Chains A and B, each alone.
Chain A
Amino acid sequence: MDIPKDHLVDMYETMVKIRRFEERIRELYFADKLPAFDIAAGLIPGEMHLAAGQEPVAVGMRPHLKAGDAITATHRPHHVAIAQGVDLNKMAAEIFGRETGLGRGKGGHMHLFSVEPNFGCSGIIGEGMPVAVGAAMAFRHKGTDNVALSYFGEGAANQGAFHESLNLASLWKLPVVFICEDNAYAISVPKAASTAIPDNSDRASAYGIPGVLVGENDPVAVYEVMGEAIARARRGDGPSLVEIKTDRLWGHFEGDADAYRSEEFKTEMNERDPIIVYGNRLLAEGVLNEADMASIQQAMHDDVEAAIEFAMASPYPAPESALEDVFAGRSVQL
């Protein structure tokens, strides 16, 4: 690998951090909802879409980003938010509905917004894609060489917003990279039952832009392809579409019985857990040794624990603050 060692390590650390975060959210999500699962109950009520298994998709772009680059993500946003460096404490606090959260408890896990670093997400499929196009317009207008990355699931590629956004970005030659996280399912619907062609990357040709398929759930492969696509956008050569085959290790949302995926499929998927595969590779190639890995593990777990503690120690917002923030100036809506 002719990739700088610090990049390789950074991607591994971030993957470990993401996984730990998702594991802890999952534990705490269920902690007080069982035995009778009630979605409205507990420390973290509501829907919860976790991204365990999809870490490579998020971390592969990290070493290529610079300050000011924008990212829009989906209803399954944590991995991308962490990779973008969104404040983990505030993000956890938002998920726990606290006053100290990114959105003072108003948004929740599908609506995480951060100004610096620049990050946003949405619970509506395809919604972030035109927003990334707009971010790229702003960068061009301001004369910066920043780029916008738009994450979306393979299910979103059948939404009008996908096609309109690709066309706009190509037409105006904007610095956007569209990143399709292909985990083969949109809730229960397998890609083959929803998508007329096997690979969404082929759809790029309809808009006259490069379409690249990353066939494995591997951060190094993602790193290489994203390096190209981001550099191209930064140079002013226009958008690209990158499709990455990845795995959603858990249910669509927590509490999903996941009966629509066969046991065989799930077993195979777990056997190729990207963190284990990548970790073994780093060991085999001598990038890290066992002791390094243990200390990375410890450090990442500590970061996550600190964020969860911060969140749980934070106060809930005052009920009447629900009326604030509808309009600028923190005015109250009556």
Chain B
Amino acid sequence: MIEFQNLYKAFDGKNVLQGLSLKVRDGETVVVIGYSGTGKSVALKHIVGLLHPDAGDVIVDGQAVGTLERDALTRVRQGIGYVFQFAALFDSMTVSENLALGLRRRGLGDDEIEDRIREALALVDLSGTGDSMPAELSGGMRKRVGIARAIALRPRYILYDEPTTGLDPVTSAVIDRLMVRTREHLGVTGVVVTHDMRSAYTVGDRIAMLYEGRIRQVGSVAEIQETEDPVVRQFIEGRAE
């Protein structure tokens, strides 16, 4: 279980998270929506200890991530796959090497690593690109490699930071289906940050809206679709006023 407990974070005096609390239960996928710049990526980074909270903490499997020592933090990270908003592929390595790096760290053998790479690339519809360098790929392809890199680890948790932004509608649908399948087949617990409401409705068990540093509303897809909160309504309907 991942639990944000009253998380606060500011950068250079600018308050970003201001008392964020949210529970993600085992096996479910929670979609986090919210305006650009409200701190969705910042929140995700706290789960894996890339950022340190000013106050509050994120609890993963009963451990407060912000207080963990180096080795304990490494163990927590080994259970989590992270899909970065801008893919964050290692640009000095081929696609296969990008995928292999994390697998090798988990002590898998060469054959197993090769199988997992092939399988993960097939899942994101990129079989045959294993030897390409990231710079040779389109933005959408890089994004999918980023997803494959996380899925190949078969982690217990996957954090997706805007997995479908910038993809064409069909590829988006493919990625949505992939996220649903990973949850169903592997029982992965997921946090998905997205602006894409169609994707949110497809993959989310629950949807939470981050607004002004805290959760404005959290509920099932149906609850969110029928919400009376004007802020949430405006966001999900995408109205300018």
Task: Indicate, yes or no, whether A interacts with B.
Answer: no
Chain A residues within 8 Å of B, Cβ to Cβ: none
